[in-house]
Amino acid sequence: MSEKTIFKKIIDREVPADIVFEDEICLAFKDVNPQAPVHILIIPKKEIASTDKLSAEDAELLCHIYTVVLPYLVSEFALSGGYRLVTNCGNNGGQTVYHLHFHLLGGRFMGWPPG
Ligand code: DGP
């Protein structure tokens, strides 16, 4: 069996995290290395390595993130003025943890293009 990712260890409460949302499908917690005043990671509890491992059966999970978790966090962290939701995929995308996650960044103006 392959080793657990750090995010799976957070789900299993083997590694501490500042958890800001949890339900049966998802977990959200503050990024350990914040790039903005608000920097939260939203992850599915299901172990999916990256966006290119998603399948049609994950449609409900993705919808849940966008329509339940995200609106909750936007309200809770006062991000109605705007935010950025980023998913890095693979080496060239800058992904370092191979458990699907969405970076929710806010609390400052976001430049474009990203680095
Ligand atoms: P990415 O590069 O897209 O795979 O982002 C991984 C993010 O995960 C990165 O911004 C730092 C964050 N991170 C890594 N290890 C931990 C940890 O142990 N706790 C928390 N809260 N965040 C972590």
Domains within the chain, CATH numbers bracketed: 6-106 (3.30.428.10)
- The pLDDT tens digits for 42-54 are 999 999 999 999 9
- Rounded Cα–Cα distance for residues 59 and 88 (Å): 19
Alpha helices in 1-115 (DSSP H): 6-11, 59-64, 70-76, 90-93
Q: In what order do the strands lie in the sheet with 84-86?
A: 19-22, 26-30, 38-44, 102-106, 84-86
Q: Is 63 in the pocket of ligand 1 (CB under 6 A)?
A: no
Distance between Cα 68 and ligand 1 center (Å)? 22
Q: Would you place residue 2 in the very low, low, confident or very high pLDDT band (cuts 50, 70, 90)?
A: confident
pTM equals 0.97
Q: Which pLDDT belongs to residue 1?
A: 55
Q: Which of 97, 99, 100, 102 to mutate to test the pocket of ligand 1 (most atoms within 8 A of CB)?
A: 97
Q: Is 29 in the pocket of ligand 1 (CB under 6 A)?
A: yes
Active site residue 103: no
If you search the block for the tokens 């109605």, which residue do you land on? 80
Mean pLDDT within 102-107? 98
- Rounded Cα–Cα distance for residues 107 and 94 (Å): 22
